[in-house]
Amino acid sequence: MDAKCKTGLPVLGGVQPPRVRRVRWPTLVAGVAFLALLHLLVSPSVHPIYRSPALPLASSALLCPQEKSLAPEKNSELWNDLTALHATNDFLMRAVGQLSRAIQLPTETFDEMDRVGEDERWLTRAPFVDHLATAFPLVHASLELQKVNTYGLMYIWQGSDASLKPLLLMSHYDVVPVSSSSADKWTHPAYSGYFDGENIWGRGAWDDKAGIISKLLTIEVLLEKKFVPTRTVVLSFGFDEEAGGAQGAGHLAPALLERFGPDSFAMIMDEGGGSWEQFGGLFAFPSVAERGSANVKIEVQTPGGHSSVPPEHTSIGMLAALIVHFENNAPGASIEVDTPTFEGLQCLAAHAPDMPGLLKRAIQSARTNPVALKAVEAILLKDPIFRAIVGTTQAVDVISGGVKSNALPEQALAVVNHRIAIKSSVNATLTRDAELTRDLAARFNLSVTAFGELLTPVGAPSFGSLALTTIDTLEPAPISPSDAPPYRLLAGTIRATFHATRKDEEKEIFVAPSMMAGNTDTRFYWDLSQHIFRYDYSNVLGEGIGEVHTVDEHLRATSLVEMITFFTTLVLNADEAAL
């Protein structure tokens, strides 16, 4: 997943920071909601919602309809056989062995790597690609494999009916580096793939070699069972997602577009989402959208000189004032009713038994009652994580300036990272940044150029210059519809997998749309399908993953097997569905 913002715990349609030992968002919000609601109960005149007529409770079926558990029908005997096989210890050990060996082959991605063929650090991919060929012999004997930009892998399992749009399953096999300063802090060495009888340990155990192994082992076992697909299945594996995906997915997507054409896939599945317990209910959160992003460089240039006779403000001081101005004028946040986050909220209100009653009632009425929506915002936007998920964010992540303690800095620069709300745009974000600079630039007598446009009069005298430029930008992703057959098939598949793998579990699982806080390789695939989902059936009942992108990354072995059951069910369901 996105190197800058991992998709850890889904948080009412969003994401929590990656360390699973941290307090989860629902716990924080439950506390905030409880205090706010207690105050409202004591002083009902505080908010107009409590002076309004009683809000009606909408039915759960209308707020968040749930698909029935969807198990294959035409291939029911095969599916039953496979789910029974997955439940055996022999199969668990087979899956563990595959993931363990994959972890032992480091495939680290670093920032600012040169292109493939120009940077020797890409060569770590070759042993991993060679290993897959021997680890999954039937896949490599039966599927067409096209290598794109040397290390991008496109597998095509041709179906018998060429008129059906294919199913596309994505993953990436690169990992974030292991810092030399923390290598000795791992419980088991980072590239050992050690299995302690319960968990597989090592970098990539969850992100995202489990995705690679679960998909390939799914296909390998289906081939062993002589299954012949009706619908073509395509696997697309990138190798630099942790640095943005330009060399991997950035080349794979055009190759797929050239071969299959625009809007040619029935649905696309990539990493992300997951299943978690929230407010007493168990929810699966497939992501149907991603926020956009923009990295903006702010550069101040002023005359140099000896620091013994400084001006009132140096370039660094001016830049510091501008940064403070940005942070004191952060973008606002609101809850939009026509977004995946709001849909996820409504699902929680419909099916989470422990959500505070007044909050539940307000959410259930918020779509058509503006007063109720404001009440929901008044409670939920107090939480900084949730506020960040639904709004556009800004974070000053890089700063530099000056070269010598006795020389006035001629240049100072900062880089601001924005994550752009799903209903906003790159243009709106950049326009806001430009407007924020006007007053301060005038105060410091700086000419301003914002994204190629001169904002101050031509030829006007100035002490220095201020320039805003973009390093990279990405519009928010199109929202995949949650009322269309592909989403319904996914939701039914999630529920069928849960029932098949948790036969003794008393809980029910509910499926709710969500939105990624960061970005995945799907950013390159928008032209290939209107139905793109980010979900890998991880962490059901809080048992699945640990320590993503940090020391002691690990994955529970039973979670790996459940991922295989999920992808097996998805392939078989898609094979006999009308998509």
Give the other-Cβ count within 10 Å of 354's Cβ: 12
For residue 555, is it left (φ>0), alpha (ψ between -120 and 50) or beta?
A: beta
CB 483, CB 337: distance < 8 Å: no
> Does the annotation flag 172 for ligand binding?
yes
Residue of 138, 71, 78, 132 lying closest to 107 (CA atoms): 132
Residue of 47, 251, 11 lying closest to 147 (CA atoms): 251
Residue of 512, 506, 513, 490 lying closest to 541 (CA atoms): 506
> Does the annotation flag 343 for ligand binding?
no
CB 284, CB 535: distance < 8 Å: yes
Residues identified as active-site: 174, 241
> Does the annotation flag 242 for ligand binding?
yes
Torsion of CA 356, 362, 364, 370, to 10 degrees: -160
- Rounded to whole angstroms, how far apart are CA atoms 131 and 129? 5
- Rounded to whole angstroms, how far apart are CA atoms 474 and 246? 13
- Rounded to whole angstroms, how far apart are CA atoms 239 and 130? 14
E strand or H helix at 509:
strand 509-511
- Rounded to whole angstroms, how far apart are CA atoms 524 and 517? 17
CB 546, CB 282: distance < 8 Å: no
Angle of CA points 422, 33, 58, to nearest 5°: 70
* DSSP classification of residue 508: -
E strand or H helix at 16:
none
- Rounded to whole angstroms, how far apart are CA atoms 396 and 401? 14
Q: Distance between alpha carbon 238 and the CA centroid of its chain, in Å?
A: 16
- Rounded to whole angstroms, how far apart are CA atoms 206 and 438? 46
> Does the annotation flag 86 for ligand binding?
no
* DSSP classification of residue 65: -
Q: Is the peptide bond before 208 cis (omega within 30 degrees of 0)?
A: yes
For residue 74, is it left (φ>0), alpha (ψ between -120 and 50) or beta?
A: alpha
Binding-site positions for Zn(2+): 172, 207, 242, 270, 549
Binding-site positions: 172, 207, 242, 270, 549
